[in-house]
């Protein structure tokens, strides 16, 4: 049907053109005006028929490649607000504080255990308690020394936090050194110098651990943290 329509349409176009030419105002063509009219009308009808039933123009059915297909827009990540960053820094500080407190518990408990063993007069128990205390305090010292002030704190709060971490590290280092002297004394080295160093280290360590907590509270205050949140 499409082929037939194309032929009819082409002939109709030809008849329409010829009919139109026969309307040129020439004396020789005046007698053929009726024929020209028929050719023009018939040609127009045939052309319309050909347009309706002739072959349709091919549609572009090519599937666009993956590279030309519209890609979904990548949504940018929302930028944290200054308030969100401040709250995140506060949460990080609270986590740091709790890590330090939990890390020092064994060393704190070991000091009480050593005093109890020493009061009993049992040198073996005293040595063993001092050895366990040394290990616990050494672990606390090493771990605390690896901590840093959280990101996002103000300069003042960051400086205070770094200072507190250093104080905590040094405090438990002195406790470790005191435990080592206690081991030495319990093992038979009862020289006054050994006893004196043990007492000095223990006192310095005790003062350092108390100052450690005090400075952590001060750093929390500079960070805008309610102290109740540290409990």
| Sequence spans of domains, the chain | 2-53, 82-230
For residue 86, the model assigns a pLDDT of 85
The rounded Cα 162 to chain-centroid distance in angstroms is 25
Cβ–Cβ under 8 Å, residues 34 and 13: no
What is the C-alpha to C-alpha distance for residues 195 and 130, in angstroms, rounded to an integer?
13
Closest by Cα among 46, 40, 47, 41 to 19: 40
For residue 208, the model assigns a pLDDT of 96
For residue 231, the model assigns a pLDDT of 82
Cβ–Cβ under 8 Å, residues 43 and 17: yes
Could you say which residues of the chain have pLDDT below 50?
2
What CATH topology corresponds to 82-230?
Answer: A middle domain of Talin 1 (1.20.1420)
DSSP 15: H
Cβ–Cβ under 8 Å, residues 187 and 223: no
For residue 216, the model assigns a pLDDT of 96
| Residue with tokens 């009993």, as numbered in its chain | 120
């Amino acid at each position: 049907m499409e082929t037939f329509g194309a032929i009819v349409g082409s002939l109709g176009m030809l008849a329409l053109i010829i009919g139109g030419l026969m309307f040129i105002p020439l004396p020789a063509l005046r007698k053929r005006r009726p024929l020209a009219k028929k050719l023009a009308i018939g040609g127009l009808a045939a052309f319309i028929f050909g347009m309706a039933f002739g072959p349709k123009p091919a549609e572009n059915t090519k599937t666009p490649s993956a590279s030309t297909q519209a890609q979904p827009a990548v949504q940018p990540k929302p930028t944290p607000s200054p308030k969100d960053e401040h709250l995140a820094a506060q949460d990080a500080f609270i986590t740091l504080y709790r890590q330090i407190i939990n890390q020092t518990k064994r060393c704190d408990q070991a000091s009480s255990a050593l005093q109890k063993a020493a009061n009993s007069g049992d040198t073996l128990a005293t040595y063993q308690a001092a050895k366990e205390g040394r290990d616990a305090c050494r672990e606390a010292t090493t771990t605390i020394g690896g901590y840093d002030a959280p990101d996002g704190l103000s300069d003042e709060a960051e400086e205070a936090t770094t200072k507190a971490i250093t104080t905590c590290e040094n405090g438990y280092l002195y406790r470790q050194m005191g435990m080592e002297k206690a081991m030495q004394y319990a093992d038979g080295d009862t020289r006054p110098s050994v006893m004196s160093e043990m007492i000095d280290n223990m006192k310095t360590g005790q003062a350092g651990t108390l100052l450690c907590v005090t400075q952590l509270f001060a750093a929390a205050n500079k960070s805008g943290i309610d102290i109740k949140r540290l409990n």
